[in-house]
Amino acid sequence: MSGVFHAAILFLVAAGLQVVFGVQKIFNLACGSFYALGAYAGVSAVAAFTAAGGSPALFILPLVVAGLAVGLVGAVVERGLLRFVYERDETFQLLLTFAVVLMMEDAIRLTWGTAPRSTAGLYLAYGQARLLGATVPVYNLIVIAASLVIAGAIGWLLTRTAFGRIMRASADNREMAEALGVDMRRVYVRVFTLGTALGTLGGALVIPATAAMSEMGIELIVEAFAVVVIGGLGSMRGALVGALIVGVLRAVAIAVYPELDMLLIYLIVIAVLLLRPRGLFGGAVA
Amino acid sequence: MKGRALLAVLFAVVLALPWVAPPYHVLLMLPFMAYAVVLLGLNLLFGYAGLVSFGHALFIGVGAYTGAFLTTHTSVRSLEAMVLAAALVGGIVAALVGALCVRYVKIYFGMLTLAFGMVFYTFLLKFYRVTGGDEGMRVLRPSLLGVNLDAMAKTDYLVGPYYYYSLALLVLATLAMWRIVHSPFGLCLRTVRDNPVKAESLGLGVAQYRWRAFVISGIYAAVGGALLGPPTGNVDPTLAYWTQSGNIVFMTLLGGFASFFGPVLGAFVFIYLQDTVMSVVPYWRLVFGAILAFIVIWAPGGLMGLFARGRPAPTSRILSRTSS
């Protein structure tokens, strides 16, 4: 069950990665850093909320607000850096996101220091539930539910709204979409901000269960990377299934044979890349 | 030739350095020379074959751990043996990994190499009985050319014999790489990079050429990795982490991947600048991230590109996205 909780968080970050890759064709290494940023912002927001006398039962509210608010960093990164390299080779786009990774890591250290931060004792504020013979913190269930709701919302956004249609059109054929009057600059800012906000929200939601550390971003990105490769680059369904596979397999591996843990995941990634480079759900757009 | 004179002067300076510079700066030259060897190999892939590996730290790790393993688990204590073993193991691993990776280009190639790099990193971290886990493995001081130098003080050993040994290896590696890129093989490699379809129709085995370049660059990275161990006396898994792969691509870009000596310059600037920045503030990543962003956006030719403004870059194709 902790595997499913982890999968729910992974899905959010991976979904952010997918949205950006699907539309902008950029593999955003920085999405892990956004996740870390969201985590720290979440800790600070909850601390401020508690200090202001907020009820512990409502701590999830400042968490979500903070997670979404720092997602706006995405707009800054897109306008300030990424927009200059859309015409370049993918390598340069990848390296630019790596530059963001480096900067964000130190920016976080500069702002929050190097010591791990956590929200003391709020993890079990909602109590525990018994489920299938195991004890599960209710908070985990809330996050899993939230993640599913967000998955549904993204699906709805992509298939039922005008903006979703524009996103899919841009992903399919950028020139044609532009020729039909779509302002690509606005689409890119929004898409990248959406992708960033998914990552920061994931970071904010994970924080009651763990501690925020400055290395958490560069560690998570390789996991999110595994998720999107297994699921298929650019595919939302792929992100969901990939996150479940990675989250659950890790939990199983840790219980059965800890040495295997991430090794197993990377071996699956390699197998998928070699046998089915488009991933399990490749081809499905955005 | 101006370039040759400049090289000769630089070489003389590097030769004289241990006599004139404080040991601290001489010691910084050691990782520089090791990384220079790595980058010469990486750039065969990046600059000449047009493939960007995001998992090259794998081979640095393989080389470093091969050397460390020899000194701690066997009685072999000679740097020649360590370097040869690293080259051999690096070559074998690169042959296997490369055979799978070169079927893909661009982002898929990068992702596949990244995945292989992380497999090795996790292996180093988790199988601690063999690898020492996150504490890594000790590297005992190797003999040089059969001469046991255990009696020397550590700094004397490093700024003296070890320095010149590394330098000699770097010079050898440079000469060999110069031959490789100026051979028919190097020319074919560039053809494969610029127009794989045409290369194929001219009878060049595209995958074959990429694979050979991959193996050579893996060997170079492993040799460089083997040189990294003895100065610190320890190797640890961070050598093989994906950010390390990112950093060496960064070094290549910083110096200029379009030129033969660009990556060497990049390694030099990276290591000394990192040291300088860290002596002022601990936040070198912030500064370096900004530098990398600047280079990517405004100076994709790197430092060499800035020096040689106006000359058409031999790798201009990679700078603009092709419409494929």
CA distances from A6 to A129, A243, A256, B145 (A): 18, 8, 17, 53
Pick A95's closest partner by Cβ from B100, B126, B249.
B249
Residues 12-31 of A with CB under 8 A from B: 27, 29
Q: Is the pLDDT of residue B196 over 90?
A: no
Q: Is the pLDDT of residue B309 over 90?
A: no
A175 touches B: beta carbon within 8 Å: no
Tens-digit pLDDT profile for residues B103-121: 877 778 888 888 888 888 8
B292 touches A: beta carbon within 8 Å: yes
- Please answer yes or no on whether B286 and A81 come within 8 Å at the CB atom: no
- Please answer yes or no on whether A109 and B319 come within 8 Å at the CB atom: no
Confidence at residue B39, expressed as pLDDT on a 0 to 100 scale? 93
B296 touches A: beta carbon within 8 Å: yes
A261 touches B: beta carbon within 8 Å: yes
B123 touches A: beta carbon within 8 Å: yes
A26 contacts in chain B (CB < 8 Å): none
**B interface mutation test: which of A28, A89, A91, A104 has the most B CBs within 10 A?**
A91
Confidence at residue B320, expressed as pLDDT on a 0 to 100 scale? 44
pTM of the model: 0.85
Confidence at residue B324, expressed as pLDDT on a 0 to 100 scale? 34
Task: Say how far residue A248 (Cα) sits from the centre of its chain.
Answer: 17
- Please answer yes or no on whether B107 and A27 come within 8 Å at the CB atom: yes
Query: How close are the terminal C-alpha atoms of chain B, in Å?
Result: 40
- Tally DSSP H helices, then E strands, for chain A: 12, 2
Residues 6 or more apart whose CB falls under 8 angstroms from that of A197 comprise A16, A67, A68, A71, A72, A74
- Please answer yes or no on whether B250 and A98 come within 8 Å at the CB atom: yes
Domain annotation covers residue A271:
no
- Please answer yes or no on whether A100 and B289 come within 8 Å at the CB atom: yes
Pick B296's closest partner by Cβ from A99, A104, A277.
A99
**CA–CA distance, A129 with A135 (Å, rounded to integer):** 6
Angle at CA of residue A159, ends A156 and A164, nearest 5°: 95
- Please answer yes or no on whether A88 and B126 come within 8 Å at the CB atom: no
B54 contacts in chain A (CB < 8 Å): 94
B114 contacts in chain A (CB < 8 Å): 222, 225
Domain annotation covers residue A80:
yes
A102 contacts in chain B (CB < 8 Å): 285-286, 288-289, 292
Query: How close are the terminal C-alpha atoms of chain A, in Å?
Result: 28
Tens-digit pLDDT profile for residues B204-214: 888 888 899 99
**CA–CA distance, A141 with A129 (Å, rounded to integer):** 9
Say how many CB pairs under 8 Å bridge A and B.
Answer: 127
Please give the sequence-ordered ranges of beta strands (E in DSSP) within B27-145, or none if there are none: 137-138
Helix (H) or strand (E) holding A128: strand A128-131
A242 contacts in chain B (CB < 8 Å): none
pLDDT band for position B1 (cuts 50, 70, 90): low
Nearest CA in chain A to B324: A89
Are the CB atoms for B121 and B61 separated by under 8 Å?
yes
Tens-digit pLDDT profile for residues B61-104: 999 999 888 888 887 788 888 899 999 999 999 999 988 888 87
**CA–CA distance, B199 with A128 (Å, rounded to integer):** 64
Q: Is the pLDDT of residue B289 over 70?
A: yes
Which range marks the domain in which residue A153 is found? 2-212
Q: Which of A218, A263, A13 has its CA nearest to residue B245?
A: A218
Domain annotation covers residue A249:
no
Pick B297's closest partner by Cβ from A84, A94, A98.
A84
Q: Span B49-70, mean pLDDT?
A: 90
**A interface mutation test: which of B119, B254, B278 has the most A CBs within 10 A?**
B119
- Please answer yes or no on whether B249 and A218 come within 8 Å at the CB atom: no
A94 contacts in chain B (CB < 8 Å): 52, 54, 107, 110
- Please answer yes or no on whether A99 and B249 come within 8 Å at the CB atom: no
Confidence at residue A3, expressed as pLDDT on a 0 to 100 scale? 80
Confidence at residue B147, expressed as pLDDT on a 0 to 100 scale? 77
**CA–CA distance, A216 with B129 (Å, rounded to integer):** 26
Pick B286's closest partner by Cβ from A95, A107, A273.
A107
Tens-digit pLDDT profile for residues A202-248: 888 888 888 788 778 888 888 888 888 888 887 888 888 888 888 88
Pick B292's closest partner by Cβ from A87, A98, A262.
A98
A226 touches B: beta carbon within 8 Å: yes
B319 contacts in chain A (CB < 8 Å): 88-89, 92
Residues 6 or more apart whose CB falls under 8 angstroms from that of A200 comprise A34, A35, A37, A38, A41, A67, A68, A70, A71, A73
Domain annotation covers residue A171:
yes
Please give the sequence-ordered ranges of beta strands (E in DSSP) within B51-205, or none if there are none: 137-138
- Please answer yes or no on whether A102 and B292 come within 8 Å at the CB atom: yes
- Please answer yes or no on whether A266 and B122 come within 8 Å at the CB atom: yes
Residues of chain A with pLDDT under 70: 1, 120-121, 282-286
Looking at this predicted complex, what is its ipTM?
0.82
A264 touches B: beta carbon within 8 Å: no
Mean residue pLDDT across chain A: 83
How many structural domains are present in chain A?
1
Closest approach of A20 to chain B, Cα-based (Å): 15
Residue with tokens 């030129």: B259
Closest approach of B238 to chain A, Cα-based (Å): 12
pLDDT band for position B177 (cuts 50, 70, 90): very high
A61 touches B: beta carbon within 8 Å: no
Closest approach of A122 to chain B, Cα-based (Å): 31
**CA–CA distance, B131 with A185 (Å, rounded to integer):** 49
Are the CB atoms for A216 and A35 separated by under 8 Å?
yes
